Amino acid sequence: MSLQKRAKWKSKTGFIFAAIGSAAGLGNIWRFSYLCYRNGGGAFLLPYFIALIVVGIPLMILEFGIGHREKGSAPKSFYSISSKLEWIGWWPVVFVMFGIVVYYNVIISWCVNYFYHSFNLSWGADPGAFFDSFLNVTSGPASIGSISLPILGGLILVWIISWIIVFFGVQRGIERATKILIPSLFVLTIILAVWAATLPGAGDGLIQYLRPDFSSLADAGVWIDAFSQIFFTLSLGFGIMIVYASYLPEKTNIVGDSLKIAVGDSLFAFIAGIAVWGTLGYMANAQNVEISEVVSESVGLAFVTFPQAISLLPAFSVFFGLLFFAILTFAGISSAISIIEAFSSSLMDKFGFERKNVVPVVCAIGLLGGVVFTTGAGLYWLDIVDHYLTTYGLVAVGILECIVIGWYVKAENLRKYINSVSVSKIGKWWNYSVKIFIPALLLFFLLWSLGVELTEPYGGYAVSILVFIGVNWVVMTLVAAFVFSFLKWKKEAV
């Protein structure tokens, strides 16, 4: 046992807010609503909820169970299970820290910049051209171009904010910040959704968003989208939920809290979808075009389509812009801090470092790692790294977790443990889903994505670039995970 006493959440709601903060991120705003549209509107909610129930919640319970039982960050928890398995804990925290959060914070920096640009609606009549010049975007991933100073400035700001929050620790930092950020996030998003839904033409957008087309359910791609969205949005396979659960008190409610977090996260995505589709409907109406002509997702939605819609608003467009980019920033920061915490606490657990020394170093390295994404090739690199890490890394970690817990620790043992500490209990079905169903399903997705990859290189990029940036990133983080697990534990750490 560590000599330093392990930090604890001050309250149950503090834990729930922090976990929802991690879960509710950019993906809820710009991906969920688009997936609904693309995959059969309201009918998509069916595969979405099935994925939530059969994979999302059971896996979240599993991660909470590991972290609570072993009282440690992901590496420490897997090391306690078996010293040979420590790398399974390091891998997610390393690749999310050096693969995902480095670019995620760059996107938050774009949001901060656009928040500022909202004051003058500086994107003018052609937001697409404005975005390209804002990014200094080059012709492809191989030509790096130059660093964009406003993006770098925003990035420094985002890292400073993250640093301050994580520096103050579990109770005074993360818990306090998410207790402010998450309720504000919900309130702001509800205001935006109501506003958007009452704009002229919004109804047409909402119909596109939710009109059910049940025939889509016969398409395997729809189900894959649902499962991968659940995985990413609930922060599963990131090593985050493990460490968050390690700060829970002895008697807790792992099962009940998982449900609340999953519902909170989905509700947020659903409300954000109303804001997005209300706005798209309005925009199509105002320009007198079909909705299909204005539809977009992710970066294009947030930084091109929305600015355009904002400029079209008859009144209060500045407020609408400020609201939208504030929402993205809040949602992003509350997710980013969760992985910074997961990685920092891994270092603290293993090497006995103190938080006040670890966090500044981690944030400084994260900032440096992000610089490549502030260049003119940033957008391409980000797209490639994101694709490889979320398609392969997260899913691989999910499979490994299920195999280790299901077969090595034995699912029944963890289930008994969870039921002994949790107010609400979980049935025997969970064992089968952890042992067989979830890993089989995830393996199927992994192979499917690999098959698609081999027939058509992702995003039409050159294969050499994909290998150099994407595959390499996955492999290097795996190597780093092994290196970390070979290093010696500080004596009294375990």
* Interaction of residue 33 with ligand TRP, rule CB under 6 A: no
When binding is defined by CB under 6 A, the residue of 228, 258, 334, 338 that contacts ligand TRP is 338
Place of tokens 């392990």: 6
* Interaction of residue 370 with ligand TRP, rule CB under 6 A: no
* Interaction of residue 418 with ligand TRP, rule CB under 6 A: no
* Interaction of residue 39 with ligand TRP, rule CB under 6 A: no
Residue burial 374-411, b: 16+ Cβ < 10 Å; e: rest: bbbbbbbbbbbbbbbbbbbbbbbbbbbbbbbbbeebeb
Stretch that binds ligand TRP, among 49-57, 143-151, 335-343, 366-374 (CB under 6 A): 335-343
Stretch that binds ligand TRP, among 140-148, 288-296, 331-339, 430-438 (CB under 6 A): 331-339
CB atoms within 10 A of CB 250: 8
Minimal distance, residue 264 CB to ligand TRP, in Å: 12
* Comparison of 202 and 337: residue with beta carbon closer to ligand TRP: 337
Stretch that binds ligand TRP, among 106-114, 204-212, 235-243, 394-402 (CB under 6 A): 235-243
* Interaction of residue 233 with ligand TRP, rule CB under 6 A: yes
* Interaction of residue 178 with ligand TRP, rule CB under 6 A: no
When binding is defined by CB under 6 A, the residue of 134, 238, 392, 430 that contacts ligand TRP is 238
DSSP symbol at 137: -
On whether the CB atoms of residues 283 and 258 are closer than 8 A, the answer is no
C-alpha–C-alpha distance, residues 31 and 278, integer Å: 15
* Comparison of 30 and 130: residue with beta carbon closer to ligand TRP: 30
Place of tokens 């504030």: 326
* Interaction of residue 336 with ligand TRP, rule CB under 6 A: yes
Give the residue at shortest CB distance from ligand TRP. 25
For 340, half-sphere exposure in the C-beta direction (CA atoms, 13 angstrom radius) is 37
Minimal distance, residue 338 CB to ligand TRP, in Å: 5
When binding is defined by CB under 6 A, the residue of 14, 15, 18, 27 that contacts ligand TRP is 27
Stretch that binds ligand TRP, among 21-29, 66-74, 419-427, 456-464 (CB under 6 A): 21-29
C-alpha–C-alpha distance, residues 129 and 111, integer Å: 17
On whether the CB atoms of residues 148 and 374 are closer than 8 A, the answer is yes
Radius of gyration of the chain (CA): 22
Minimal distance, residue 224 CB to ligand TRP, in Å: 17
For 24, half-sphere exposure in the C-beta direction (CA atoms, 13 angstrom radius) is 34
* Comparison of 22 and 285: residue with beta carbon closer to ligand TRP: 22
* Interaction of residue 477 with ligand TRP, rule CB under 6 A: no
C-alpha–C-alpha distance, residues 195 and 322, integer Å: 13
C-alpha–C-alpha distance, residues 123 and 304, integer Å: 9
Four-residue CA torsion sign, 222, 382, 331, 120: negative
DSSP symbol at 232: H
* Interaction of residue 339 with ligand TRP, rule CB under 6 A: yes
Minimal distance, residue 169 CB to ligand TRP, in Å: 18
* Comparison of 228 and 335: residue with beta carbon closer to ligand TRP: 335
Minimal distance, residue 26 CB to ligand TRP, in Å: 4
* Interaction of residue 262 with ligand TRP, rule CB under 6 A: no
C-alpha–C-alpha distance, residues 281 and 285, integer Å: 6
> 49 — phi, psi (to 5°)?
-70, -35
Binding to ligand TRP (CB under 6 A) within 88-127 occurs at 96, 100-101, 104
Q: What does the CA dihedral 193, 199, 205, 209 come to, rounded to 10 degrees?
A: 10
DSSP symbol at 239: S
Minimal distance, residue 2 CB to ligand TRP, in Å: 25
* Comparison of 148 and 233: residue with beta carbon closer to ligand TRP: 233
C-alpha–C-alpha distance, residues 14 and 16, integer Å: 5
Binding to ligand TRP (CB under 6 A) within 213-232 occurs at 232
* Comparison of 305 and 335: residue with beta carbon closer to ligand TRP: 335
* Comparison of 136 and 477: residue with beta carbon closer to ligand TRP: 477
> 252 — phi, psi (to 5°)?
-150, -165
End-to-end Cα, the chain, rounded Å = 5
C-alpha–C-alpha distance, residues 205 and 193, integer Å: 12
Minimal distance, residue 342 CB to ligand TRP, in Å: 8
* Interaction of residue 23 with ligand TRP, rule CB under 6 A: yes
* Interaction of residue 26 with ligand TRP, rule CB under 6 A: yes
Size of the site for ligand TRP (CB under 6 A): 19
Residue ranges that bind ligand TRP, judged by CB under 6 A: 22-23, 25-28, 96, 100-101, 104, 232-233, 235, 238, 240, 335-336, 338-339
